[in-house]
């Protein structure tokens, strides 16, 4: 049984902050299919369209019939642990710092045998296990063997926590706590065990319902933060950036307008100023410190979360300028992810559909509740995924976009959703 994680001691400020060493990250193009699925929390393997054989490792042609008709398909991961070993020595710097490290050989019920990292609650071989996939600190997919039934503290396993971004005992910045999403996010993080939560407010004179109650939570500290203002971002970064482990960017301007829906560019500029340039200012101010603390003990800096929109994938004309700002933010977030990956920081992008708030008042159901979005963020941090599409609308858009982006564009232009 996994021992529950206890609050780590305060760091000795006289000690040098260690630098991150990453696990081996080289992958071929075919193998990146496994990583792409893992980024969304899915375990998929190639299955031959000719003979039905399941493949591992990923390859260009079927090992059984040499067909190239290989398609990635979901797997349940059920299998039998055949053998196990515990590494006591490694020449790789990453594993050398984390020894001992358990490995096992599992024969999947689907056919292939795979080498996996073993969760601490997996017993000695032979034993039934469930194989799952997770992104490691280098952002690449690795296979993990889990027990069929685990304890309530499974997430506290040192190996699993190393690969995820569990907010438990970590310090978090939520950039805007006044929106319904921001408030739900703060409460979800507090419930998940965050040690301290800085909550940004852009205009102190605005006091929306529920915001005053956040300040009563023992973990919460309200700070002045306006992502439109370079000086505001730099000042708060100078105060807390060296302590933050997770940044959750909930700052957003959402207005309902297409190109001819309003005169001038003021609204579109405001959306870009917050949704795109706000993210850029935050990344420049907080990114370097997060990267510097990526190996800073048990609660090292670990994640950056962006609340984007499913409209970032394909523009929804009635929300055209908002969609454009989120598409720009998505492109910037992908750049941020590439730059953060070398330091082992996970960049998580959320793509919700319409959220149940004032700006979607006239949008018919289904709409995503702010609490559901916040819970999706917590789940993503704990499971170590990169891209999340919460809610029925987001899942439907994603499926249609993957099937044929041009057809989706035409459907949206014709007034569909």
Residue 371 has pLDDT above 70, yes or no: yes
As a whole number of angstroms, the distance between CA 124 and CA 127 comes to 7
Give the helix, strand, coil percentages of the chain, each rounded to 5: 35, 20, 45
* Record: fold of 171-413: Rossmann fold (3.40.50)
Among 345, 346, 347, 308, smallest CA distance to 329 is for 308
Mean pLDDT computed over 290-298: 88
Q: In the predicted model, what is the mean pLDDT of the chain? A: 92
Residue 188 has pLDDT above 70, yes or no: yes
Beta bridge partners of 45: 73
**Percent share of the chain, pLDDT over 90:** 76
Please check whether residue 131 is in contact with residue 115, taking contact to mean a CB–CB distance below 8 angstroms. no
| Contacts of residue 62, Cβ cutoff 8 Å, sequence gap at least 6 | 48, 50, 51, 53, 55, 68, 69, 70
- Model confidence over 232-241: pLDDT tens digits? 999 999 999 9
Q: pLDDT band at 26, cuts 50/70/90?
A: confident
More confident residue, 362 or 172: 172
Residue 363 has pLDDT above 90, yes or no: no
Residue 19, pLDDT score: 83
Please check whether residue 413 is in contact with residue 317, taking contact to mean a CB–CB distance below 8 angstroms. yes
Residue 351, pLDDT score: 98
| Contacts of residue 238, Cβ cutoff 8 Å, sequence gap at least 6 | none
Q: pLDDT band at 355, cuts 50/70/90?
A: very high
More confident residue, 3 or 115: 115
How many residues appear in the chain? 417
Mean pLDDT computed over 381-398: 95
Q: What is the DSSP letter of 368?
A: B
Residue 12 has pLDDT above 70, yes or no: no
More confident residue, 258 or 115: 115
Residue 326, pLDDT score: 97
Residue 40, pLDDT score: 94
DSSP element (H, E) containing 94: helix 93-96
Residue 264, pLDDT score: 84
Q: pLDDT band at 417, cuts 50/70/90?
A: low
As a whole number of angstroms, the distance between CA 167 and CA 190 comes to 9
Q: pLDDT band at 307, cuts 50/70/90?
A: very high
- Model confidence over 110-159: pLDDT tens digits? 999 999 999 999 999 999 999 999 999 999 999 999 999 888 888 888 88
Please check whether residue 345 is in contact with residue 304, taking contact to mean a CB–CB distance below 8 angstroms. yes
Mean pLDDT computed over 50-60: 96
Which range in 146-150, 292-296, 347-351 is most confidently predicted, on average pLDDT?
347-351
Residue 221, pLDDT score: 96
Residue 256, pLDDT score: 82
Residue 14 has pLDDT above 90, yes or no: no
- Model confidence over 208-257: pLDDT tens digits? 888 889 989 999 999 999 999 999 999 999 999 999 999 999 999 998 88
As a whole number of angstroms, the distance between CA 257 and CA 319 comes to 5
Please check whether residue 341 is in contact with residue 139, taking contact to mean a CB–CB distance below 8 angstroms. yes
Domain extents in the chain: 32-155, 171-413
As a whole number of angstroms, the distance between CA 368 and CA 354 comes to 6
pTM across the whole model:
0.93
Strands 246-249 and 303-307: parallel
Residue 161, pLDDT score: 87
Q: What angle, 0 to 180 degrees and rounded to 10, lies between the N-to-C axes of helices 277-292 and 230-240? A: 20
Residue 5 has pLDDT above 90, yes or no: no
**Percent share of the chain, pLDDT over 70:** 99
Residue 416 has pLDDT above 80, yes or no: no
Look at 10-14, 17-21, 137-141, 325-329 and tell me which has the smallest mean pLDDT. Answer: 10-14
- Model confidence over 262-284: pLDDT tens digits? 788 999 999 999 999 999 999 99
Residue 71 has pLDDT above 80, yes or no: yes
């Amino acid at each position: 049984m996994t021992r529950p994680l206890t609050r780590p001691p305060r760091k000795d400020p006289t000690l040098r902050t260690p630098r991150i060493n990453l696990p081996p990250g080289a992958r071929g193009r075919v193998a990146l299919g496994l990583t792409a699925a893992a980024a969304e929390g899915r375990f998929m393997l190639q299955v031959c369209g000719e003979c039905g054989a399941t493949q591992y490792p990923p390859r260009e042609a079927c090992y059984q019939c040499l067909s190239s008709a290989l398609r990635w398909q979901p797997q349940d991961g059920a299998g039998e642990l055949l053998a196990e070993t515990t590494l006591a020595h490694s020449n790789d710097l990453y594993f050398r710092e984390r020894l001992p490290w358990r490995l096992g050989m599992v024969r999947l019920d689907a056919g292939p045998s795979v080498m996996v990292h073993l969760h601490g609650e997996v017993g000695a071989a032979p034993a039934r296990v469930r194989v799952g996939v997770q992104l490691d600190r280098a952002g690449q997919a690795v296979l993990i063997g889990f027990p069929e039934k685990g304890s309530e503290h499974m997430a506290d396993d040192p190996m699993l926590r190393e690969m995820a971004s569990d907010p438990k005992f970590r310090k978090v910045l939520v950039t805007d706590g006044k929106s319904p999403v921001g408030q739900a996010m703060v409460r979800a993080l507090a419930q998940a065990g965050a040690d301290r939560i800085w909550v940004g407010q852009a205009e102190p004179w605005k006091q929306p319902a529920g915001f005053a109650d956040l300040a009563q939570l023992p973990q919460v500290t309200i700070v002045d933060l306006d992502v439109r203002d370079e000086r505001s971002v730099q000042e708060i970064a100078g105060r807390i950036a060296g302590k933050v482990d997770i940044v959750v960017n909930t700052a957003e301007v959402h207005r309902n307008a297409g190109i001819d829906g309003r005169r001038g560019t003021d609204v579109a500029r405001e959306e870009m100023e917050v949704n795109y340039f706000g993210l850029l200012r935050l990344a420049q101010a907080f990114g370097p410190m997060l990267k510097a603390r990526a190996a800073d003990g048990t609660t090292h800096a670990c994640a950056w979360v962006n609340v984007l929109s499913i409209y970032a994938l394909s523009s929804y004309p009635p929300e055209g300028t908002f969609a454009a700002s989120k598409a720009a933010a998505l492109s910037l977030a992908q750049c941020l992810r590439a730059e953060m990956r070398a330091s082992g920081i996970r960049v998580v992008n959320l793509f919700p559909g319409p959220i149940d708030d004032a700006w979607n008042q006239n949008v018919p159901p289904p709409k995503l509740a702010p609490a559901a979005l916040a819970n999706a963020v917590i789940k993503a941090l704990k499971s170590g995924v990169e891209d999340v599409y919460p809610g029925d609308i987001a899942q439907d858009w994603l499926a249609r976009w993957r099937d044929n982006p041009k057809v989706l564009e035409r459907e949206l232009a014709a007034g569909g959703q």
